[in-house]
Structure 1
Amino acid sequence: MNIPQELLYQQYVRRELETYRAPYDPELEFYSYVRQGNTEKVKELCRESFQEKKGLGILSDSPLQNLKYHFAITAAMLARYCIEGGMEVTEAYDLSDYYIHKADLMKSKKEISTLHPQMCLDYTTRMEKMHRNHACSRPVAQCLEYIYDHLHNRITVPTLAAHAGISPGYLSHLFAKEMGISVSSYIQSKKIETAQNMLCHSDYAISVISTTLAFPSQSYFTSVFREKTGKTPMQYRAEHFRTSSIK
């Protein structure tokens, strides 16, 4: 496969995955993306109109009231997942109450369908901001953003330090102090998290995933993956992969 690493990584991160699996799995996946603050993925998944979403149960004989009930369930789930992700309980429930009340006043399914992605993205952008502000200093926040955008590259402390405009030694000290983990360990963890998602939701070969995430060799990738997850990439995929059709 002769696709540039950057393009392959961006294709994975940004494209829509046409998955065919039990309805419960994509729901959990969706709420996980909200909790992660992954606005790009949540935008993609919100393209389907809420009122036309398949698999919604019948909770009321009134189609409008039925959609309102499902909207309220979604709001409650968003609040729960975001609280688990670190959002303040009061903020999460205040948002939920606000959107449920707003939906309750609406007179059409179309209005509720328009409100649905607004609510989801409101939670997601708040989580994204919270994750980025986890580090108090601007240099570390800049590095976190750079790491996320360049997981397809080999990322070094000098590269990050130059991006943040500080010395490598100071960056290493500051990053460890604010994040509670070394720069290299953090980068490895983020690469392995991405590898886990790719193993679960794509049919890329393990060698391709290793190369895409800029590991020096497949054997090193396997070693780090086993250290972080307790399983080899092949074992992990065998346990978590869902049959999918990917174009």
Structure 2
Amino acid sequence: MLQTLDSNLLDPNYLEESLGSFQNATGLHIEAINNQGVTVSLLGNIERSEFCRYIRSQPEGERKCQDSYKRANFEAAKWEEPYFFRCHAGLVIWAVPIMIQGVSRGSIICGQVLMWEPDHFFYQELKKLNAGIENFERLKNMACKLEVVSPQRSQAAADMLFVVVNHMIKRNINSLEEINATRLQQQQIRHEIEERKKKNLRELSEYDDYLKKERKFLRYIRLGDRTRANQTLQSLLTDLQSKTLGDLETIKVRIIELATLTSRAAVEGGANAERIMKLLKDFNKEMEGFERVEKYFYTIQRIVETFLESIFTLADKKHIAIVKNARDFIMENYALPLTVNDVAQHLFISPSHLSRLFREELDCTINDYLTRVRVEQAVDIMKKPEFSVAQVSKAVGFQNQSYFSKVFRKYIGVTPLTYKNSLY
């Protein structure tokens, strides 16, 4: 096991399993070292060569090998790529760096081979490098048994090992990020539950309050309001945690239901329908193997963020900024008698260019989006009984109540008065 390396960033079992497969495929010896050159794990089932074991058994042998590994680890980390070297005893070895977020965590050492068949000059050099060895003939015989690996094969093995190591690092960093995000999310839920208790807020009555909050959340999705969508989602998850007491099956049903509703709201907000449906299909498949509430909550938060990003999946970053700023401006000023010219003037671009961007990127006109915002806000204000339909109409920017009723019915399916009366 890699006890000396950071097991929070590198899963020892997965590392040994993956590198063991590499070793079985190549037949090459590999071991993991830390930044001091100390071997922390011999990976796979191939032990060091007889030559290396003999060298290490000599006085100062372990120290010299460690110094060779330490220098190789330093060079590999410096260049962030496989580093080939000859150890102090004359063998060809290469070090593949383990770099996590720009910091060296050690290396994977591979090799203990020769690149050419031993000849007279090799033995002369071998004797010179190992002058302290009393029984050189024994060492020479051991050298004859070493595997000869061509430069091409050595380079290919180093490249393959580099890919394997980096794949494992990426996998484990992603896992760590998920763990940290899940932990933060649970802390936020616990904090919100405690705050509700302090404020003596009532518990959910059935799912009425939850469903009302869910409708508000879906409005924010349709409008592409990332901040309020995420805030409301966090509150919804707190409701689920509190109401279900962590019952896994109930939470699973609600989370899948919420993901489906969110996907449709994202499409209505301008996201590509085909892409959203593909994401939803993958999400539902991923849900099948979960056994912890935290995993459901983390995954729904991740898919909602992906849906929101899909609303702004534009090729040109400049266009992203323009369209987003236009939407933000409309969200802040929908109660005013806005026109396309007003929005364009605020962004210092031509009305025709802004209109074209909206049509191309969001598949709607600026007026369509403005109307959608006004209707969504009207739905929210109507929950307050002190506001009449006429007051709501004026509050969201409609100057004509009759026109407001016509537009509201088109979007919601009923007149404003019918909708308001259904709330009480």
TM-score normalised according to structure 1 size: 0.63
Letter in 1 for 2:248: K
Give the equivalent residue in structure 1 for 2:306: 126
User: What is the DSSP-based 3-state SS (H/G/I as helix, E as strand, rest coil) of the residue aligned with 1:181?
Assistant: coil
Q: How far off is 1:196 after superposition?
A: 3.0
Q: How far off is 1:191 after superposition?
A: 0.9
User: What is the DSSP-based 3-state SS (H/G/I as helix, E as strand, rest coil) of the residue aligned with 1:155?
Assistant: coil
Letter in 1 for 2:300: C
Letter in 2 for 1:95: F
Please report the RMSD computed on the Cα atoms of aligned residues, expressed in angstroms: 3.7
For the structure 1 residues 41 and 229, does the alpha-carbon distance in structure 2 shift closer, same or farther, using more than 3 Å as the test? same
For the structure 1 residues 76 and 117, does the alpha-carbon distance in structure 2 shift closer, same or farther, using more than 3 Å as the test? closer
Q: Is the 8 A contact 1:158 1:168 kept in 2?
A: yes
Give the equivalent residue in structure 2 for 1:40: 231
For the structure 1 residues 169 and 31, does the alpha-carbon distance in structure 2 shift closer, same or farther, using more than 3 Å as the test? closer
Give the equivalent residue in structure 2 for 1:9: none
Give the equivalent residue in structure 2 for 1:225: 408
Q: Distance in 2 between matches of 1:46 and 1:214?
A: 33
Q: Is the 8 A contact 2:393 2:404 kept in 1?
A: yes
Q: Deviations over 1:82-129 (max 9, x none)?
A: 44444533422433444553x41x4xxxxx3x5554333323222222
- Is 1:202 the counterpart of 2:384? The answer is yes
- Is 1:156 the counterpart of 2:339? The answer is yes
Q: How far off is 1:45 after superposition?
A: 2.8
Give the equivalent residue in structure 1 for 2:367: 184
Q: How far off is 1:143 after superposition?
A: 1.5
Determine what percentage of the aligned residue pairs are the same residue.
19
For the structure 1 residues 153 and 30, does the alpha-carbon distance in structure 2 shift closer, same or farther, using more than 3 Å as the test? same
Q: Is the 8 A contact 1:39 1:128 kept in 2?
A: no
For the structure 1 residues 144 and 120, does the alpha-carbon distance in structure 2 shift closer, same or farther, using more than 3 Å as the test? same
Letter in 2 for 1:40: Q
Letter in 2 for 1:75: I
Q: Is the 8 A contact 1:140 1:164 kept in 2?
A: no
Give the equivalent residue in structure 2 for 1:88: 276
User: What is the DSSP-based 3-state SS (H/G/I as helix, E as strand, rest coil) of the residue aligned with 1:47?
Assistant: helix
Q: Could you tell me which runs of 5 or more consecutive residues in structure 2 were left unpaired when the two chains were aligned.
A: 1-201, 266-272
Q: Deviations over 1:16-52 (max 9, x none)?
A: xx898763684486277256462232233333361x2
Give the equivalent residue in structure 2 for 1:30: 214
For the structure 1 residues 25 and 115, does the alpha-carbon distance in structure 2 shift closer, same or farther, using more than 3 Å as the test? same
| Structure with the largest fraction of strand | 2
Q: Could you tell me which runs of 5 or more consecutive residues in structure 1 were left unpaired when the two chains were aligned.
A: 1-17, 57-62, 107-111
Equivalence map 1:65-84=2 (5 Å)? 67-84=247-264
Give the equivalent residue in structure 2 for 1:6: none
| Structure with the largest fraction of helix | 1
Q: Is the 8 A contact 1:31 1:78 kept in 2?
A: no
Q: How far off is 1:233 after superposition?
A: 1.6
Q: How far off is 1:72 after superposition?
A: 2.3
Q: Give the total of aligned pairs.
A: 205
For the structure 1 residues 168 and 90, does the alpha-carbon distance in structure 2 shift closer, same or farther, using more than 3 Å as the test? closer
Q: Which has the higher contact order (CA 8 A, sep 6+)?
A: 1
Q: Distance in 1 between matches of 2:365 and 2:350?
A: 15
Q: Distance in 2 between matches of 1:70 and 1:22?
A: 13
